[in-house]
Amino acid sequence: MVDLLQYLPILIFLGVALALSSLFVFLPMAVSRLTGAHKPEADKLSEYECGFPAFEDPRSQFDVRFYLVAILFIVFDLEAAFLFPWAVSLKHTGWAGWLTMMVFLVELVIGYAYAWKKGALDWE
């Protein structure tokens, strides 16, 4: 019994988390029904992401350039995420840290030049 009491704080935390997440989900739905804001109409239930009904199969394939742009975004987002801590700790890392980051930046520039040459940045 004593060993199970060690898990009591975790169970309390999970209970509070479940209660709060349920509250954040179900309370706005209940308030909207009680105040009359929940009035489904055809206009409210229509497509809202692109503004017009879909006219193609939703399982159609995307153009490869869409994925290339997404990959380029991730690459340059990671670059920014690595540059800030590197710049802050440059005093402590010295020349070895500077050289390592320059190699990293050269690799990114080579990747950017390759994507540019292949036309991944050209959008029609």
User: In this predicted model, what pLDDT tens digit does every residue of 71-124 receive, in sequence order?
Assistant: 878 878 888 888 888 888 888 988 998 999 899 889 888 988 887 888 777 776
Helix/strand/coil for 113: helix
Residue 15: the pLDDT is 96
Check pLDDT > 70 for residue 1.
Answer: no
Distance (Å, whole) CA 15 – CA 20: 9
Longest dimension (CA), the chain: 68
Distance (Å, whole) CA 85 – CA 89: 6
Q: Residue 119: which region, alpha, beta or left (left: phi > 0; alpha: psi -120 to 50)?
A: left
What type of residue is 17?
Answer: A
Check pLDDT > 80 for residue 11.
Answer: yes
| Domain 2-118, CATH | 1.20.58
User: In this predicted model, what pLDDT tens digit does every residue of 39-83 receive, in sequence order?
Assistant: 777 776 666 666 556 666 667 776 777 777 788 788 788 888 888
